[in-house]
Amino acid sequence: MADQPDQVPRHASHRAGGGEQGGGHGRRPPGMLVGRVRGVPVYLSPLALLFGLIIGVLLLEPNRERLPDVTEGQLYLLVAITSAGFIASLVMHEIGHCLTALGFGLRVRGVTVHGFVGFTEIEPEPQTPAREFLVAAAGPAVNGVLAGAGFALLTVLDSGTQPGVVVLDLTMTNLVLCVFNLLPGLPLDGGRLVVAAVWGGTRDRLRGARAGAYGGYVVAGLLALWALLSPGSRFDGLYLLVVAAFIAVGAHQSLRQAQIRMRLPGVSAGRLARRTLPVEGSVPLAEALRRARELGASAVAVVDSDGTPIKVMTGSAVDALPEHRRPWMTVDEVSRTISPGMVLEAELEGEDLLAAVGSTPATEYLVTQGGRPVGVLAMVDLVARIDPASIGRLANQR
């Protein structure tokens, strides 16, 4: 999602605690690289390690009661193994999404585990309801298989022994991950199953996305109600409320993205391109702005001696520059070099346009038609067209 006055939707991502949104190119790694699966990097964020530590701390007393004869050293080793197994279960969940997506020929940019939440960045989104269903179901299915293997091991292990306690805890962990992720609301995987089912039944993906988002609101509300009415410990109640809030926020984002996508038909780079004034880089900024006003242009491009655009004036840099300094600055100093990703065909529209601007975040893009420059697309114009509310929020903040 490009960093603009609010973010435009990206491609799909599936989560072990949630379900949507991919990342962007050119970012710093989201965590520590722990390996690759068929070339896809797998990351653990610092939050994942912190969450594993919290799990270990919470297991100390229960394990001390279940295994009264173990030494302190053995006790810490057991909770460390269980904590590592919990994180590994989240990673395996995401690898399930990853391998299924790769099997359908989709690109997977990376797998990241943050605390109790995992992200698998997939692009483009699955093209059919069946593929959407299978990619979403793969993660919980992996946890289900791991839980089944754990129950099988418990038939030959005594749950009162050290190995038995570890296997029992990890079995229940995977069972909970499987069931929790199948709850029918975005951003959980179960919400993506709802999307696939409604999409398949109505042939309308956006209707499926709205259904999944509303399901997320329902799931969040029920979890919050359970947290408030349950006689469990204060920590358990607080944890459930945090999870409910996470799901509610994810559902809201999913609904907003569906609403944005409803506005995409007919949105093209050519229609949104601003009339552009070509100038040499040495022209003073104040003079270039004066010429632009006379021409009725609202964008400026720096051209070389052949008239070929090489830079695009950055509107945000101009806005931040005091009026009295503009006569002493050249256009070149407030412009950004046009990289290949900043050149858009005028015919580019809808999801393809979003994918193009998402791959190369910028505030302005050069729009061409038949290889000839026809104007500049300001990102703020695209955001205003597909998400007017974000522009209103930006204005209020100012």
- Hey, what are 318's tokens? 């101009």
The pLDDT of residue 200 is 95
Q: Kindly tell me if the per-residue pLDDT of 237 is higher than 80.
A: no
Indicate if the pLDDT at residue 132 is higher than 90.
yes
Residue 13 to residue 18: CA distance in whole angstroms: 9
- Of 9-23, 248-262, 276-290, the poorest mean pLDDT is in 9-23
Q: Give the full edge-to-edge strand order of the sheet including 343-345.
A: 343-345, 364-369, 372-378
What is the mean pLDDT of the segment spanning 35-61? 88
pTM of the complete model: 0.75
pLDDT digits (tens, 9 = 90+) for 364-385: 999 988 878 889 999 888 888 8
Read off the DSSP letter of residue 24.
-
- Is 393's pLDDT higher than 60? no
Instruction: Give, for 281, the enclosing helix (H) or strand (E).
Output: none
Residues of 114-135 as b/e, b for ≥16 C-beta within 10 angstroms?
A: bbbbbbbbbbebbeebebbbbb
pLDDT digit string (tens) for 134-157? 999 999 999 999 999 999 999 998
pLDDT digits (tens, 9 = 90+) for 319-360: 888 888 988 999 999 999 999 889 999 998 887 888 888 888
Question: CA 102, CA 97: separation in Å to the nearest integer?
Answer: 9
Give the containing element (helix H, strand E) for 315.
Answer: helix 315-319
Alpha-carbon distance of 275 to 335, in angstroms, equals 17
What digits encode the pLDDT tens for the residues 94-119?
999 999 999 999 999 999 998 778 88
Q: According to the model, what pLDDT value does residue 2 have?
A: 29
Query: In the structure, what pLDDT confidence band is assigned to residue 62 with cuts at 50, 70 and 90?
Result: confident
CB 111 within 8 A of CB 43: yes
CATH numbers and ranges of domains, the chain: 13-262 (no CATH), 269-397 (3.10.580.10)
Got the DSSP string for 343-354? EEETT-BHHHHH
Confidence of residue 193 (pLDDT cuts 50, 70, 90): very high
> For residue 218, what pLDDT is reported?
96
Handedness of CA 76, 78, 83, 84 (dihedral sign): positive
| Average pLDDT, integer, range 275-282 | 91
